[in-house]
Amino acid sequence: MSQHRPVRAAYTGTFDPITNGHADVIRRAARLYDQLHVVVVHNPGKEAMLPIAQRLSLLEQSIAEADIEGSVVVASWSVGLLVDYARDVNAGVLVKGIRSQADVVYEVPMAVVNRDLADVETVFLLPDPSHAMVSSSLVRQVAALGGDVSAYVPPAVARFLHTGGHDL
């Protein structure tokens, strides 16, 4: 059995919008792998607030402003299985952020199937505790009701939400 270190990983999510928890996972995963693909995926079970193009732009701005060390590629994927994307870019690892037991229950079966389908491992990263309870859906709810979400999202997202989406 040959041993190899995966040099490329993919961190996926809807990022609707990116939160400080997402940015924390991106920062740490980018240090673990030679190249990290941050992939906006379409989740048919969720109704998105932002179109994929805006999510990609906000990710790119947030990553640039955070001065994240390492090689980060921002992409989207909406056709086929996530492991197909991983194979296409030669990513041996999928990175998943885990905030709670509910995330574990949701992610573990997918990790097992992804390993079975494509020999792709899943690595779970816990966010910094200060970001652990904040989700994109909570940010969307607070922002929709006029609340200040700047403590929960990167500056690019806070500016975008503050201007009503006219800052891209």
Annotated catalytic residue 131: no
> Of these residues, 28, 62, 96, 136, which one is catalytic?
136
Contact between residue 149 and residue 158 where contact means Cβ atoms under 8 Å apart: yes
Dist. CA 100–CA 64, nearest whole Å: 28
The CA-to-CA distance between both ends of the chain, in Å, stands at: 49
Q: Is 135 helix (H, G, I), strand (E, B) or coil?
A: coil
| Catalytic position from the list 31, 46, 78, 137 | 46
Of the candidates 22, 37, 55, 96, the residue annotated as catalytic is 22
User: The tokens 């190249």 sit on which residue?
Assistant: 35
Structure tokens at 95: 């990175």
Among 8, 57, 87, 99, the active-site one is: 99
Beta carbons of 17 and 50 less than 8 angstroms apart = yes
CB 28 within 8 A of CB 125: yes
Q: Is 46 a catalytic residue?
A: yes
| CA separation, residue 9 to residues 92, 95, 158, 162, 167 (Å) | 6, 7, 28, 33, 30
| Residues labelled as active-site residues | 22, 46, 99, 136
